[in-house]
Amino acid sequence: MRLKELNEQYGIDGALEFQSEQHTEMAYIKTAYSTAKVSIYGAQVLSFIPKGKDDLLFVSSQSVYKEGKAIRGGIPVCWPWFNAHPTDSTKPSHGFARISRWEVLSTKKEGDEVVISLGLKSDDRTKDFLPYDFEAVLEVTVGKRLNVELTTKNVDSKPFDVSAALHTYFNISDIATVKLRGLHKMAYKDDVLGIDALQEDEMVTFSGRTDRRYKETEAEVSIIDANKTIKVGKKGSKITVVWNPGAELASQMADLGKENYKKMVCVESANSLNDTITIQPGTSHCLGTTIYSV
């Protein structure tokens, strides 16, 4: 759908406008309490700015905007698998949703909130990656809070499994001083060290590359930064991913850059490990995250 048609059909005066940018269209959203930016490519939220505050989301200044490439930052949709494909390493890391062009399904303004829904359906291309019929919908609600929900519906005659994450990059002042509250006494898989461990300290802190999947937790996490606290809630998830690449890995990531790792931390609602989801025919699963600043 061309830009003019998008704005005529789905634009909302004073609240939502589509603009052509990079290789896709972006939805610019404005409410009484916040602004946001959503890329149609990848169905990826790239900005959420509460009124009078800085952007809560981080997007790398080195991000690559190109078909077939994931945008580094915001809230990439990792789906229908998280990390590497479980059986075929030639398939794209974190699935194909974040490198697909989604369709605008609807937009609406409800009170002080604006909602945009984007959809992705199975076709000949997706069958190469996931050989089932599905309908995926990402609903983004912008207001005092940012709420993002990914719903996967099985419209096939057979069940299928999905793992997923809303891979949220948060904008912080310094990874060396930021702390996370809400994961105390939680068991986790350390994907850097390849071990299982327990979060003994009340706060999660960062002293190098960190890649952890906290298990059996539905708790809200607080990101405690120098000048703000960001609250991260979740839905339909028992795994919380905490990630920062650290200096060495960041230096190898051309779309991040050597120093940008200091300004970001990922706290993600995920379905992974023992929380991989089996979706029966005719049923659906919803994975969500809610973000706000206090």
As annotated, the active-site residues are 167, 268
Let me know: does 277 contact 286? Beta carbons within 8 Å. no
Cα–Cα distances in angstroms (integers) from residue 184 to residues 5, 178, 187, 188, 228, in the given order: 50, 16, 9, 11, 21
Distance CA 290, CA 32 (A): 18
Number of neighbours of residue 202 by Cβ within 10 angstroms: 12
Residue 182: is it exposed, middle or buried by C-beta count within 10 angstroms (0-12/13-18/19+)?
buried
List the one residue out of 229, 6, 1, 242 whose CA is nearest residue 107. Answer: 6
Let me know: does 136 contact 105? Beta carbons within 8 Å. no
Distance CA 27, CA 7 (A): 9
Number of neighbours of residue 171 by Cβ within 10 angstroms: 21
List the one residue out of 58, 16, 13, 61 whose CA is nearest residue 34. Answer: 16
Number of neighbours of residue 193 by Cβ within 10 angstroms: 11
In Å, the largest CA–CA distance within the chain is 55
